[in-house]
Amino acid sequence: MSTVTDVRSRRRPSRQRGRARFRFGFDIGGTFTDFVLVDIASGAVRTYKTLTTPRDPSRAVMEGWRALVDQADVGAESVEMAVHGTTLITNALIEREGAQTGLITTKGFRDVLEMRKEMRYDIYDLLITLPEPLVPRPLRLEVDERVTASGEVLRPLDLAELEPIAHKLRKEGVEAVAVCFLHSYRNPVHERAAGEWLRQRIPGIAVSISSEVAPEIREYERTSTTVSNAYVQPLAETYLRSIGEQLRGEGFEHNLYLMLSSGGIQTLETAARFPIRLVESGPAAGVLAAVFYGKLIGESDLVSFDMGGTTAKMCLIKDGQAAMASTFEIARVHRFKRGSGLPVQVRSIELIEIGAGGGSIARVDELGLLKVGPSSAGAEPGPACYGLGGTQPTVTDADLVLGYLNPDNFLGGRMALSLEAAEEAIRSVIAEPMGISLLDAAWGIHQVVNENMTAATRIHVAERGADVRRMRMIAFGGAGPVHADAIARALKMRGTIIPSSAGVTSALGFLTAPASFELARSVVGPLKESRLDELERVYRELEDEGRALLAGAGVSEQEMRFVRQADLRHAGQGHDIVLELPYAHLHGVDVERDLQPLFYERYENVFGHAHRHLSLEIVTCRVTASGPVPALAIETEEDTEALPVEQAIRDVRDAYFREAGGFVATPAYERARLTPGATFTGPAVVEEKDSTAVVGPRATVVVDRFLNLIVTFE
Amino acid sequence: MLWQRLITVMDEVDQIIVRTTFSTILSEGRDFACILTDANARSLCQSSWSTATFTKVYPRTAKVLLDRFPIETLRDGDVLATNDPWIGTGHLPDYILLRPVFWRDEVVAFLGTVSHMSDVGGHPAEIESHDVFSEGLCMPPFKLYEAGQENELAFSIMGANCRVPNLLLGDLRAMAGAAKIGAERITAFLDDYDFDFASLADEILDRSEELMRARIEALPDGRYEYGLDIDGYIEQAHLHVTVDVRGSDVYIDYSGSSPQRQDAAINSAYNSTYATSMYPFKCALAPETPNNEGLFRPIHVSAPEGSILNATFPAPVKARAKTTNNINQVLFGALWPIFGENVQASGGGIWPLVLMGHEPDRGTYLVDMLPHGGRGGMPTLDGMVPVSYPENSTITPCEILETDAPVLFHRKELWPDSGGPGRHRGGVGQVIVFEHVGTRPMVFNLTPDRITTQPQGLDGGAPGRSGRALLNGDELREFPPIHLQPGDVVELQLGGGGGFGPVEERSFEAIRRDVELGLVTPEAVEREYARSTEAAEAAA
């Protein structure tokens, strides 16, 4: 049920300079686990895709490692670096499968977690419910300590108070505990003392303290972040350690890194302490890959579209960059509605994710309307056509019935799809209850899921004020290339880009990221001359922390890069903006002459006006510490022999295009046989081992020198 | 689809407001709305989180503004404004701004904002007041900006009439700035899709009206009545409603309600009575349809002139929400038998509080907090823990309040046993305790609710517990501006919601879980759930 694809098989392996060196990336998704192995010298990429093994995810990982590293005759010792992304953290939060977690707060504040922001996420729906707090009330315990807003200790922490708490936590079988005291972002002394005491006294219980996890002002958001971190920590630790050990057992000697939601990477040890920073690691990798391809192709404005088995992720890339957000909401309980989930203060790439994937289940709702997703058939039992016991019709089943997918070529032909099972599921669950034909039902499923993704993309893009009509959509993920054509057309975009090995593209994103750490500390107060020394000290401390983390990741001192940022606002304002400081240190920097104009200018750019008569306040100091960007040279061989495009046609089959009047005889190209410069027109399908690209009528496809398909609509 | 894009533009304007305003009531409390109308001031859409009643008043206000400044006289960059209670939302703090959107040299739409300003001058009292003149500066319809230029005279008059000018002026500039960006987005939208807002408005409003009529048609015709005592101020007040459901129309009449008060700012002008009366119908009959005035065409509201729900100028109106926040409870009281599961019992109310003063080291400060009591029980659900209702706002974090003002919070936690027992229990309220830790006196303004009356249950559910406000342990019964001295401690007990359905129908499982979570104490189970046959067991 899986396949090795050597997408650069027409290239010579690089043996010129002695021992070959490789990087290994893998992405555990809800349905599939994807792998890439890159030859650092030649840029040659080998890929592998297999079904995720939800009960023991490392099983699929080991399978992929062996398939790529062992069978491909690459010595384990020549793999220099492995980078990993996972949806397991997110899934544990969505499915509430994390640890039994406790919370210790400042006396009088244990219910902050439950009262949230006292806001409703829907004003008119009286029947909305809020997500259950991750820590039930009896496990939210208090100590009588207090630090003030200015960071002074008002009531010292008495460690003896922790004794009965530790006892209770043990008695209740708690596996993780979060500590969140008021104003700890300003002065972490009590949290640190409590954390240390707990780690010593109850060593089996994972401890997360808010001043380490998310040292930012606003008690609810900080508590929510810290609790979420604690909730997934035992699971993350066990799982990450197991993967690390198993890889070592296979002879892998170097560091395993984890991709963060922000697109940076972190060591396994740090990731195990702050697993909440991994919540969006897979989607982040996809965006990095899109950015990478954009640079390669020379398109700096793109919409990336990553559709896997469970969800679809869309992200606007402008000027070669995706926007970053400093908070993120996970596990929304109400149809992905903003405000219905758990907020976490985690720097993440700003993208929109909806429950639309190949495995999304179609149903008829109480009003008799066809609905698709957000629930997914996942890897087990999977779509009906997998023949693994699934009986619910999914998007993949519809795509098969519509002739887009080749039943004999799924995962490179290692897994036969059952057209009969797909038809049966769609007929019995959709067509018959709705009184429509099988074909209309399949087309309906395909259209509804496309509409969902189109609407989500439109909102995401509109929120950023972009005009996508001059852009292309870069599509990847197992199902992305099947659906991108219709979505990009609905958005009136120019066309699409389907990178080679699109089915595993996001795993490639892991290998384009530098080691990177983000550090922040809240320092709320006026931005004035007399505070610059204090701020300089904070920045230095953050940089020192970053330096130590980078050194641990094997980055040499010369290669380290630090960027300072400040969250600033007008005095008295409620929210702030992030400003990059173009200074390595604050000595000789003048607030009025240097910093204020920088702020006003940036503020005016964003909001149209600044209040120049008002002085400034600083809220948070931020430092990004990063290592070098890995050189990933994907190049095409100049001497590749061009093959006539007709030779790439594997067969001609009926595929459904409504605008062309229904089923149309459509050539199915074999991607591996397409060479640079090949040109053909739609309708067409292009098959490779781990995905299929669908091109509708009235479009031209050109294969570029990197073997990407560049599709332009007429 | 295109409609969704317009909502997205309004959501963006909404975000800009949150991020650029100065007062905590806007940036943290979110007490504002942003609305898009066509050129005839008919609403097209608003941001997803807009304050509900604001969106219903706004089209009425916009029409008055446009009577005063006819559309053909407007120039690009003009911003019209007013805070007149009888033109606007019913009290002076709410400023309504209207910016024309020009496209091809013609006004094609208006972008409006309604926002609660934290300082509009006047006496510092919230409730104690004898006429609207003392409640702050009233600005009749005027141009805040003319062709993009600030109206200097207006700005200087407003600035000279409030305590913390930067809050009002800064927030007005922020609202106008957000409207400017919104107008640019709308123009860009029109460049993309040549598009007629008037026909879109026709379609939205007609379809919405049709939908609401169909839903009303499905209700049994009849007359439904309910009366409810509310706190009023010192002396209680009474709200009474008669609802006639006839075919596809609904006639709401508030005859029998108390006369307007001359000694307390708890009077509601017709606009705010009208707007708050729509809410239960929206929730029960069309919760999923984006809000617009077409939905409310079939609903007619009358209240005797001079009553507390149709107060006449110059009655004091500043704390009108103390009365109007109960309107939904009176309507649910009358209509729950025909509204199905989308109804709820009374809640513990919203307790706006304002702290202001001056400290030598930090200067002048003014902060707001909008905490809530528990929500009422519903036919199928227990009441929620404190959450904003019937409006929508967010609570200002204690860490922010302590940073911005010399206060120290001792507690902010759920209040066990405060929820009314019932088949579905009322949500528990909360207790908030804070201390003045500055060096100079601090003005403390509180508008509590449900302290002399109890949040009522429905369908046999028991009432929730009344709230209390204490200063250094002594119960407060009057709420003029209170001058807190350093070291003073304030305790607020915000009541729980009323229960829904008879208590004897509450399940053993639910009672046990309440006890486990500490939301109901074993003593209270014995006392209040005794009629529940299984309760004794649960307590044990």
Q: Where are the domains of chain B?
A: 2-195, 218-342, 344-505
B185–A465 CB contact, under 8 Å: yes
Rg (CA), chain B: 23
Q: Which has more pLDDT, A465 or B396?
A: B396
Q: What CATH number is associated with residue A253?
A: 3.30.420.40
- Average pLDDT of A149-171? 96
Both A550 and A616 in a single domain? Answer: yes
Q: Are B123 and B129 in contact (CB under 8 A)?
A: yes
User: What residues form DSSP beta bridges with A362?
Assistant: A372
Token readout for A465 is 């004020």
Does A616 map to a domain? yes
Q: Out of B5, B342, B402, whose CB is closest to A149?
A: B402
Question: pLDDT confidence of B435, banded at 50, 70, 90?
Answer: very high
Q: Which two tokens stand for residue A663?
A: 């089923």
Query: Residue A111: which residues within 8 A CB-CB, separation 6 or more?
Result: A137, A140, B385, B412, B413, B414, B430
In percent, the amount of chain A with pLDDT more than 90 equals 49
Give the gap in angstroms from C-alpha A575 to the nearest C-alpha of chain B.
5
Contacts of A34 (CB under 8 A, 6+ apart): A26, A27, A47, A48, A49, A503, A504, A506, A507, A690
Print burial letters for A302-341: b (CB count within 10 Å at least 16), e (below 16). Answer: bbbbbbbbbbbbbbbbbeeebeeebbbbbbbbbebeebbb
* Within a domain: A233: yes
The chain-wide mean pLDDT, for chain A, equals 88
**A702–chain B Cβ distance below 8 A for any pair:** no
Weakest-pLDDT range from B300-309, B462-471, B528-537? B528-537
What the block records as the tokens of B38 is 């066509």
- Is residue A215, in this structure, part of any structural domain at all? yes
Interface test with B, best of A124, A154, A579 (most B CBs within 10 A): A124
Q: What CATH number should be reported for the domain holding residue A185?
A: 3.40.50
- A453 located within any domain: no
Residue of B180, B387, B517 with shortest CB distance to A118:
B387
Buried b (16+ CB within 10 A) or exposed e, B299-316: bebbbeeebbbbbeeebb
pLDDT at A29 over 70: yes
Residue A422 inside a domain? The answer is yes
State the CB neighbour count (10 A cutoff) for residue A662.
11
Q: Is B424 touching A (CB cutoff 8 A)?
A: no
- How many beta carbons lie within 10 A of that of residue A544, not counting itself? 13
pLDDT, average across residues B143-169: 94
Nearest to A307 by CA among A31, A592, A683: A31
Does residue B472 have a pLDDT over 90? yes
Kindly state whether residues A25 and A81 are assigned to the same domain. yes
How many angstroms separate the most distant Cα atoms in chain A? Answer: 80
Amino acid symbol at A128 = I
Cβ–Cβ contacts within 10 Å for residue A470, how many? 10
Tokens representing A315 are: 């992200």
Provide, as residue numbers in chain B, all residues whose Cβ is less than 8 Å from the Cβ of A183.
399, 402
Kindly state whether B394 is in contact with chain A, defined as any CB-CB distance less than 8 angstroms: yes
What does residue A654 show for φ and ψ, rounded to 5 degrees?
-80, 125
pLDDT at A8 over 60: no
pLDDT at residue A462 is higher than 80: no
Q: For residues A446-460, give the mean pLDDT.
A: 86
Q: Determine contact, residues A610/A604, Cβ cutoff 8 Å.
A: yes
Same domain, A11 and A38: yes
CA gap B376, B343 in Å, rounded = 9
CA A28 to chain centre: 11
Name the DSSP class of B488.
Answer: -
pLDDT band at B254 (very low <50, low <70, confident <90, very high): very high
- Give me the pLDDT at residue B53, please: 81
Tokens of A409: 């070529």
* pLDDT of the residue at A16: 42
Tell me if A110 is assigned to some domain: yes
Compute the distance between CA of residue A69 and CA of residue A415 in angstroms, rounded to an integer.
22
Q: Determine the distance in angstroms separating the CA of B388 from the nearest CA of chain A, rounded to an integer.
A: 5
Euclidean distance between CA atoms B226 and B329, whole angstroms: 9
A88-118 pLDDT per residue, tens: 888 888 888 899 999 999 999 999 999 999 9
- Using CA atoms, how far residue B145 sits from B151, B165, B184, in Å, is 5, 18, 16
B45 within 8 A of B207, measured Cβ to Cβ: no
Residues B462/B499, Cβ–Cβ less than 8 Å:
yes
Which band of pLDDT confidence, cut at 50, 70 and 90, is reported for residue B408? very high
Give the whole-angstrom CA distance, residue B325 versus residue B335.
17
Q: B15 to each of B48, B71, B244, B514, how far by Cα in Å?
A: 11, 28, 40, 38
Asked if the Cβ–Cβ distance from B389 to A524 is below 8 Å, we say: no
Q: Measured between alpha carbons, how far is A333 from A129 in angstroms, rounded to an integer? A: 8
Contacts of A107 in chain B (CB under 8 A): 411
Window 377-396 of A, Cβ < 8 Å to B: none
Tokens 């404004």 label which residue? B81
Contact A119 B170 (CB under 8 A): no
Q: How many CA atoms lie within 13 A of B152 on its CB side?
A: 0
- Chain A residue numbers touching B181 (CB-CB < 8 A): 607-608
Q: Model confidence at A10, in pLDDT bands (50, 70, 90)?
A: very low
CB contacts of A327 in chain B (<8 Å) are: none
Chain segment A215-263, per-residue pLDDT in tens: 888 999 999 999 999 999 999 999 999 999 999 998 898 888 899 998 8
- Across the interface, do A108 and B48 touch by the CB < 8 Å criterion? no
Structural domain harbouring A69: 3-92+240-261+270-277
DSSP letter for each residue of A608-625: S---TTS-EEEEEEEEEE
Is residue B389 within 8 angstroms of chain A, CB to CB?
yes
Residue A696 covered by a domain: no
Length of chain A: 714
Instruction: Indicate the pLDDT class of residue A576, thresholds 50, 70 and 90.
Output: confident
d(CA A539, CA B60): 53
Closest partner residue to B399 among A126, A219, A577, by Cβ? A219
Tens digit of each residue's pLDDT (9 = 90 or more) over A468-522: 888 999 999 989 999 999 999 999 999 999 998 888 888 888 888 777 888 888 8
Residue A3 predicted with pLDDT over 60: no
Inter-chain contact B384–A130, Cβ cutoff 8 Å? yes
**B chain contacts of residue A217, beta-carbon cutoff 8 Å:** 397, 399-400, 403
Do residues A181 and A147 lie in contact, with contact meaning Cβ atoms separated by under 8 Å? yes
Phi, psi (5° rounding) for residue B202?
Answer: -55, -50
The CB-side HSE value for B288 (13 A sphere, CA atoms) comes to 2
What are A158's two structure tokens? 């008495």
Distance set, CA A466 to CA A313, A318, A485 (Å): 17, 9, 20
A267 vs B523, higher pLDDT? B523
Q: Nearest residue on chain A to B7, judged by CA atoms?
A: A459
Pairing, β A324-325 against β A328-330 = unpaired
The full length of chain B comes to: 540
Strands in A140-143's sheet, in edge-to-edge order, are A140-143, A101-106, A176-180, A206-209
Domain stops at, among A604, A626, A648 = A626
Sign, CA torsion B251/B255/B261/B266: negative
Q: Which tokens belong to B85? A: 């209670």
Strands A101-106 vs A176-180: parallel, antiparallel or unpaired: parallel
End-to-end CA distance of chain B: 57
In chain A, residues 181-210 whose CB comes closer than 8 Å to chain B: 182-183
- Å between A332 CA and nearest CA of chain B: 17
Minimum distance, in Å, between the CA of residue A164 and any CA atom of chain B? 19
Query: How far does B314 lie from chain A, in Å, by closest CA?
Result: 32
Residues of B with Cβ-Cβ distance to A127 under 8 angstroms: 341-342, 378, 380-381
Question: Which residue from A473, A649, A627 is spatially nearest to A559, judged by alpha carbons?
Answer: A627
CB contact under 8 A, B395 and A118: yes
Read off the pLDDT of each residue in B88-110 and give the average, rounded to a whole number: 94
Residue A335: the pLDDT is 58
pLDDT (tens digit, 9 = 90+) per residue, B323-363?
999 999 999 999 999 998 999 999 999 999 999 999 998 88
Residue, of B521 and A11, whose pLDDT is higher: B521
CB proximity list for A588: less than 8 A, separation 6 or greater: none
pLDDT in tens, A328-378: 888 777 656 778 889 998 888 988 888 889 999 999 876 677 888 878 887
Q: By the 8 A CB rule, do B13 and B34 touch?
A: yes
Residue B367 has pLDDT above 60, yes or no: yes
Chain B positions in Cβ-Cβ contact with residue A117 (cut-off 8 Å)? 394-395
Residue window 98-157, chain B: list those with CB within 8 Å of chain A.
none
Share of chain B above pLDDT 90, in %: 74
CB of A367 less than 8 A from some CB of B: no
Q: Both A106 and A225 in a single domain? A: yes
Question: To 10 degrees, what angle do helices B152-160 and B165-192 make?
Answer: 140
Lowest mean pLDDT across A513-522, B415-424, B469-478: A513-522
Residues A110 and A39 in one domain: no
Q: Which of residues 104-143 of A touch B (CB under 8 A)?
A: 107-112, 114-120, 122-127, 129-130, 136-138
Q: B60: how many CB neighbours lie within 10 A of its CB?
A: 18
CA distances to A233, A567, A600, A602 from A596, in Å:
41, 13, 6, 10
Number of structural domains chain A divides into: 4
Report cis status (omega within 30 of 0) of the bond before A381: yes
pLDDT for residue A516 = 80
Q: Which residues of A touch B392 (CB under 8 A)?
A: 119-120, 123
Query: Nearest 5°: CA angle at A233, between A352 and B517?
Result: 90
Q: What residues 492-521 of chain B have any CB closer than 8 A to a CB of chain A?
A: 516-519
Residue A589 CB coordination number (10 Å): 16
The winner for highest mean pLDDT among A547-561, A603-617, B480-494 is: B480-494
d(CA A326, CA A262): 9
How close does chain A come to B12, measured CA to CA in Å? 6
Instruction: Tell me the three state secondary structure of residue B245.
Output: strand
* Cα of A129 to nearest chain B Cα, Å: 8
Q: How many CA atoms lie within 13 A of B458 on its CB side?
A: 34
Cβ neighbours of residue A320 under 8 Å, at least 6 residues apart?
Answer: A291, A294, A295, A300
Q: CA of A111, closest CA in chain B: separation in Å?
A: 5
ipTM score of complex:
0.90
